[in-house]
Structure 1
Amino acid sequence: MAEISVAERDGVGADGSTRPTEDHVAVLGNAVVVLDGATAPRPDLPSGGWYASLLVHSLSRALTAEPQADLAVLLAESIADVARREGLEPGRSPSSTVAIARWTDDTVDGLVLADSPIVAFGPSGADPLTDDRLVSLRESGQLRTGADVRAKRNAPDGFWVAEAEPKAAAEAVRRSWPRSEVDALLLATDGVAIGVDEYGLFDWPEVLAISRERGPDAVLDAVRTAEKQDPDGERWPRAKRHDDQLLVLVDFGVAPG
């Protein structure tokens, strides 16, 4: 039986004002779903957090009803379900990242769409499952404006997210591990992963150690403390002073023999 710990914290909007978190999580019997709603591309659209809240519930129902089904198929069906019920249209809708981890006694399956990583740990160390397309586009200067983001979102030469286009699910990054080779999983939104990828506060094995020893909230504290020491983004340029944070530890302990 896996022990699951969750830590989450609100960030601030791009204007620096407080607002409810747009990260969402579902903990099921043999799966965890993490979503990070993206800032809407237009002010007249619903928020990414609103969309992520609907999608996480649809995914939870699908995973419960069909616990052995292909994860990409379930994601595509859930994207279509939300789009149909809410009248959402591709290119004119809010969006969300997706990270799904599911396990049995034999296998651990992971699916990642956009920048919410899953990291598996075992005898060989940390094995991150990441979708780097969004980060690569940012670093290469191809996402400088809102128009750039709209043009590259769910496009063959761009990046893929959950929105109103079910075919995005087929573009997710996926991996399966033998259950005997996985001792623990971490699932994170980018408000936590930034502490590893950009701030260099710790690596993923250190995040696991902190989460096991002091709880995942201690990791969130470390990221937030670093950001408070760089309030104007001079050391680490970023769109928001504090992003929403969500970190889940799935600790299997001793793997089945």
Structure 2
Amino acid sequence: MLPRIEVAERPGVGLDGAVRPSEDVVVVLPNAVVLLDGATALDPALPSGGWFASRLAGELAGRLVGYPDADIADLLAAAIKAVARDHGLVPGESPSSTVALLRWNDRVVEGLVLADSPIVAFTDGGPAPLVDGRLAAMPRGVGYRDRLASGAGYGDDHLVALRDAATSMSRRRNIDGGFWVAEADPDAAHYAERATWPRAGLTTVLMASDGVSCGVDTYGVFADWTAVRDLAMAQGPEAVLDRVRAAENEDPNGTRWPRPKPHDDQAMVVADFTR
């Protein structure tokens, strides 16, 4: 029997503060759900993170349906390779995306996370987060976050500081001791965090882009993932997005919670396995 899947999505704003199409991508398949969060491109010469996420989602979806028993990291690697090949992408000089992948059959449920889009599985023993914390562990240094915390706000100087931070962070992308993300290097897929749960013991699984998980990890508007699950099950996942966006509206200049943009794209999936 298929789980009941609910999806909530909402665009954030671009670096200019204007609303634009979301760069998060969610694909629901008969045996899987894919959630991708395309990274905002700071180099205008590059395609957008949303462009990359959309193409990666298409390649990955076909493989998940066509090869239901294949290793999910191998499928992700093949999808990355196909996008890079077809569009002439070069490792280290290409757009990128996080990956959260959930796949199930009658016996087990598998999860794969690459970069900061977590999956949280709920069993009889409580929440079991599947998190890739390597990006969050990278040293940040002095930069745009300190500017925002001081009250400098968003604007041209913020963009300069943000580009400096992105340049520094790009040197740590997809290398040992750094962090891993879907880009143009297929090997990144095999550095993903993974977990497998017996299907019989699962109740609910949450998937989220960081525009939603920040409500737990950064803003603290939710005490924990159980509170997120409870609100989503009672009022729907849109209510979770509303709560996070309301917190951001109370901090429009990023002083309390320094962040690249006032509002990030939001995507959330709730999979109910109790059916």
TM over 0.5: yes
**What is the Cα deviation at residue 123 of structure 1?**
0.6
Identity of aligned residues (%): 55
Q: CA RMSD in A?
A: 1.5
Is structure 2 residue 253 aligned with structure 1 residue 252? no
Is structure 2 residue 256 aligned with structure 1 residue 235? yes
2:146: which partner in 1? Answer: none
1:166: which partner in 2? Answer: 186
**What is the Cα deviation at residue 237 of structure 1?**
1.1
Match of 2:212 among 175, 192, 199: 192
1:45: which partner in 2? Answer: 46
2:118: which partner in 1? Answer: 117
**What is the Cα deviation at residue 139 of structure 1?**
5.2
CA distance in 2, matches of 1:36, 1:189: 6
CA distance in 2, matches of 1:37, 1:71: 20
Structure 2 counterparts to residues 108-147 of structure 1, below 5 A: 108-138=109-139, 145-147=165-167
Amino acid at match of 2:40: T
CA distance in 2, matches of 1:171, 1:75: 11
**What is the Cα deviation at residue 17 of structure 1?**
1.6
User: Size of the alignment, in residue pairs?
Assistant: 254
Does the CA-based 8 Å contact 2:31-2:65 persist in structure 1?
no
**What is the Cα deviation at residue 222 of structure 1?**
0.3
TM-score, with structure 2 as normaliser: 0.89
**What is the Cα deviation at residue 241 of structure 1?**
0.3
CA distance in 1, matches of 2:60, 2:26: 11
Any idea what the Cα deviations from partners look like across 1:41-68, whole Å, max 9, x if unmatched?
5220000000000000100000010011
Q: 1:16 to 1:109 in 2, by over 3 A?
A: same
CA distance in 2, matches of 1:152, 1:220: 31
Any idea what the Cα deviations from partners look like across 1:10-36, whole Å, max 9, x if unmatched?
000122121110000100012100000
CA distance in 2, matches of 1:41, 1:137: 19
TM-score, with structure 1 as normaliser: 0.96
**What is the Cα deviation at residue 148 of structure 1?**
1.1
SS in 1 for 2:135: helix
Q: 1:178 to 1:20 in 2, by over 3 A?
A: same
Does the CA-based 8 Å contact 1:40-1:93 persist in structure 2?
no
2:69: which partner in 1? Answer: 68
Amino acid at match of 1:238: R
CA distance in 2, matches of 1:223, 1:123: 27
CA distance in 1, matches of 2:90, 2:257: 35
Moved over 3 A (4+): 138-144
**What is the Cα deviation at residue 234 of structure 1?**
1.3
Gaps in structure 2 of 5+ consecutive residues: 144-161
